[in-house]
Structure 1
């Protein structure tokens, strides 16, 4: 296998991840604080979780941009890619699982008491979450650490990526553009379908959870990111201020849609807004891209995965110690600052070194000398 050097990351695309993670955290945690401040949220709490869609699109984009070694879907490259993804996401994911474990245990004990059934549920939910299978059913998607469902979906996307990458690598611009349009439709149709359900079903949680969580219904967003990266790599031009202004407009539109649009309209509008935002940031040179690509924002973006995974369990622990954190603006702001600091520490002391160690160990184990083969063997 010929090894091709990876392209360096685009700093602004790393920085924007923190804004998406912050939106999701506010969606999960801030409703009581907003009520305390008498802030009218409009449709914020219907839509502020939708930046997970931005994560999925960005994931497809970044993987396509930075992983030329999966060209041709060669088996060694595929294995290396899979392990690289595992090394990147699983240490922090496992940390979140461990941090949440006492909470799920206490919840199950409060609901079902001590007994075999409680421990069976705990073992089942724990195993499903550990193996990243929880998003496939509505009863397990949120059964452990709530944000973990998106990693369950990402695991499917990662499994499919080498084959999607190979299939899409040499497609024409018209084909890639058509696929993006198709993915847009696919992302909207499930939510549109909900509005045609009988009223009794519309009031049930499981149809919405089915649409939001099932990986098969979300993979179009990931595919769109791959197509967008192929278009970017094929048509990349000199970075200009025009794209920076385009990114600023797309970011402003995204924020406005999240606040003022109903959920169906948000699903229709956020997909193209996110696509435009990412493409423009990749091509931008100006104040916004400089801000998002600055060292502090890049660090926040790198720590955003830990921020995303830990925000729900740490908030629950914070409420045990500081009961007013859910309603006091100052305490809530202090929590977000503390969460950010903890996330940075986790990134620097756990995610980054463990990822590097695991990837190095894998490369060493796969080297010809480690397998007792001559250096020239293939």
Structure 2
């Protein structure tokens, strides 16, 4: 077994971010490439939304691994902490969200606003507030609902650390948070306020109140690793065991009936139980294996190319569904029309390079990754460093160890 001391940067976990983003991509477009597959295969790929759960557990681990042993819940520390979180998450999200509403201004694509006032929707999206309303959660950049969940975790994490260390109340916290969510749904489900915490399924799957357990599993893993380092006393292959169990969970959700009005087995009560409470444990085993074992899968995830894709995966996640993908798809359709017009003009009977939806999806996947890497290198990374070094929220010191940390990207 590997016995290395903890380090500030773990390349394989950066690669995991790319894996998670690609799983979500597959889940959103499974209808394209699985049309000729058996129904169970279509359902199986459709449940690859587990990439979101991987993101949540990973966030819990990384934030804790970086901050747990040196946090001081003072005003200055908290401002610096929030500054780093804003630098990481907000700039690209804001720019791409504004881009979505500019796209709406030209196309009137109702998927952006769901028929509501575009100015109000822009404000709700920019402020992350839309994530608390069932009527609004998938406006703007639809998949951006998960950032409301992430921001709730970022804000509450230092307080969770404090309660865990000072009062020795760790697992009580997610129980209290979820019970609070259930109570709020009971209070608001009959209030016609744009679906604010309007139903139990929405609360459990699309808000921090329902999904907090995933973060706490990541927190627990980080605390264990901080206490025991990366040493191991057994030879269990946690990497492959955890990885295999991820897809066992996927299969079970694929076999569940889809509740009326929803889209996947995830939304079945058993699916919620598996996704929110069983799957995170499997992910933690997988992560623990990556941290403590030397495997082929770890080497692949730590590969320099995969690492770069992992660093740009946040942007890929934000653009893989919605306005930017729609632009690409429109270009493919125009290219297809142009190709056949050209063939007709010259009397050629050739296939069009854009006539196959599965091939077009592959084009989009490659192009979206290319765009993501370019935006990461030219906008996201420079803005991240600029904000961290600026006097935003708190005056920057000449040397700030947090600014040099490569763990939390």
On whether the aligned pair clears a TM of 0.5, the verdict is yes
Name which of structure 1's ranges 276-285 and 45-54 shifts more when overlaid on structure 2: 45-54
Task: Give the CA deviation at 1:40.
Answer: 4.6
- The yes-or-no answer on 1:229 pairing with 2:225 is no
Partner of 2:81: 81
CA distance in 1, matches of 2:121, 2:38: 38
- The yes-or-no answer on 1:317 pairing with 2:327 is yes
- The yes-or-no answer on 1:145 pairing with 2:141 is yes
5+ residue gaps, structure 2: 1-5, 186-197, 257-265, 337-353, 399-409
Task: Give the CA deviation at 1:257.
Answer: 2.5
Task: Give the CA deviation at 1:254.
Answer: 0.8
Partner of 1:158: 154
Partner of 1:254: 246
Partner of 1:356: 385
The answer on whether the counterparts of 2:100 and 2:141 sit within 8 Å (CA) in structure 1 is yes
Instruction: Considering fraction of residues, name the structure with more helix.
Output: 1
The correspondence for 1:124, drawn from 120, 125, 141, is 120
* Residues 43-82 of structure 1 mapped to structure 2, 5 A cutoff: 43-44=43-44, 47-67=47-67, 71-82=71-82
The answer on whether the counterparts of 1:34 and 1:40 sit within 8 Å (CA) in structure 2 is no
The alpha-carbon distance between structure 1 residues 360 and 20, as it changes in their structure 2 partners (threshold 3 A), is same
The alpha-carbon distance between structure 1 residues 109 and 32, as it changes in their structure 2 partners (threshold 3 A), is closer
- The yes-or-no answer on 1:270 pairing with 2:262 is no
Partner of 1:376: none
CA distance in 2, matches of 1:85, 1:33: 37
Q: CA RMSD in A?
A: 3.5
TM-score by length of 1: 0.78
Task: Give the CA deviation at 1:51.
Answer: 2.2
Task: Give the CA deviation at 1:280.
Answer: 1.9
TM-score by length of 2: 0.73
For these two proteins, the number of residue pairs brought into alignment is: 339
CA distance in 1, matches of 2:11, 2:121: 37
The answer on whether the counterparts of 1:100 and 1:145 sit within 8 Å (CA) in structure 2 is yes
Task: Give the CA deviation at 1:110.
Answer: 6.3
Task: Give the CA deviation at 1:312.
Answer: 0.9
Task: Give the CA deviation at 1:316.
Answer: 1.4
CA distance in 2, matches of 1:306, 1:109: 21
Task: Give the CA deviation at 1:20.
Answer: 0.8
Partner of 1:201: none
Task: Give the CA deviation at 1:207.
Answer: 4.9
Task: Give the CA deviation at 1:260.
Answer: 4.5
5+ residue gaps, structure 1: 1-5, 194-204, 370-378
The alpha-carbon distance between structure 1 residues 59 and 227, as it changes in their structure 2 partners (threshold 3 A), is same
The alpha-carbon distance between structure 1 residues 101 and 29, as it changes in their structure 2 partners (threshold 3 A), is farther
* Per-residue Cα deviation, 1:131-176 (whole angstroms, up to 9, x for no partner): 011111101110111111011111111111121123334787xx75
The answer on whether the counterparts of 1:134 and 1:149 sit within 8 Å (CA) in structure 2 is yes
Residue aligned with 1:322, SS: helix
- The yes-or-no answer on 1:217 pairing with 2:210 is yes
Partner of 2:370: 341
CA distance in 2, matches of 1:159, 1:300: 27
Name which of structure 1's ranges 326-335 and 348-357 shifts more when overlaid on structure 2: 326-335
The alpha-carbon distance between structure 1 residues 207 and 161, as it changes in their structure 2 partners (threshold 3 A), is closer
The alpha-carbon distance between structure 1 residues 296 and 74, as it changes in their structure 2 partners (threshold 3 A), is same
* Per-residue Cα deviation, 1:223-272 (whole angstroms, up to 9, x for no partner): 221122111111223379946x3112211221243145333254253122
The answer on whether the counterparts of 2:389 and 2:396 sit within 8 Å (CA) in structure 1 is no
CA distance in 2, matches of 1:11, 1:88: 18
Task: Give the CA deviation at 1:209.
Answer: 2.9
CA distance in 1, matches of 2:149, 2:369: 25
CA distance in 2, matches of 1:110, 1:220: 34
Task: Give the CA deviation at 1:87.
Answer: 0.6
The correspondence for 1:293, drawn from 302, 308, 317, is 302
The alpha-carbon distance between structure 1 residues 312 and 364, as it changes in their structure 2 partners (threshold 3 A), is closer
Task: Give the CA deviation at 1:39.
Answer: 7.2
The alpha-carbon distance between structure 1 residues 156 and 58, as it changes in their structure 2 partners (threshold 3 A), is same
CA distance in 1, matches of 2:233, 2:314: 29
Partner of 1:374: none
- The yes-or-no answer on 1:331 pairing with 2:360 is yes
Task: Give the CA deviation at 1:7.
Answer: 4.9
